[in-house]
Amino acid sequence: MKQFLLVFLGGGVGSLLRYLSSKYLNPIYPNFYLGTFLVNTIGCLLIGLLIGLSFKNNYLSQGQSLLLVTGFCGGFTTFSSFAFEGHSLLKDASILHFSIYTIGSLLIGILAVSFGIWLSKML
């Protein structure tokens, strides 16, 4: 039961921060969904860093991993919002914005995970 509670709490905090980021950052540049892009990039960096530190020296206990990696990062990042926003850009015939948003999200996300793992080795 403790494991469910840890995932629930981490997911709730992550989801709330994702909502606030989208609410306040997406309107800055309406054709790009800046909030979702930044949340996914930061989430990728954070999950890479946490997993890298955990592999390096058992930095996280199982409970901490459930709270931070599964719960928080899972609630904070969102592929479903990314997919919906991509669909919206295509529907609006914003091919250039769709391409930059999609390719940028994927490449920068993967690079952020890699950088997080690399960074964990430096700590």
Residue 79's pLDDT is what? 82
Domain positions in the chain are 32-53+89-123
Asked if pLDDT for residue 109 goes beyond 80, the answer is yes
Structure tokens at 61: 């206990």
Structure pTM? 0.80
Contacts 24+ apart (CB under 8 A), 52-61: 52/116, 52/117, 52/118, 52/119, 52/120, 52/121, 53/120, 53/123, 55/117, 55/120, 56/120, 56/121, 56/123, 59/120
12-33 pLDDT tens trace: 999 999 999 999 999 998 888 9
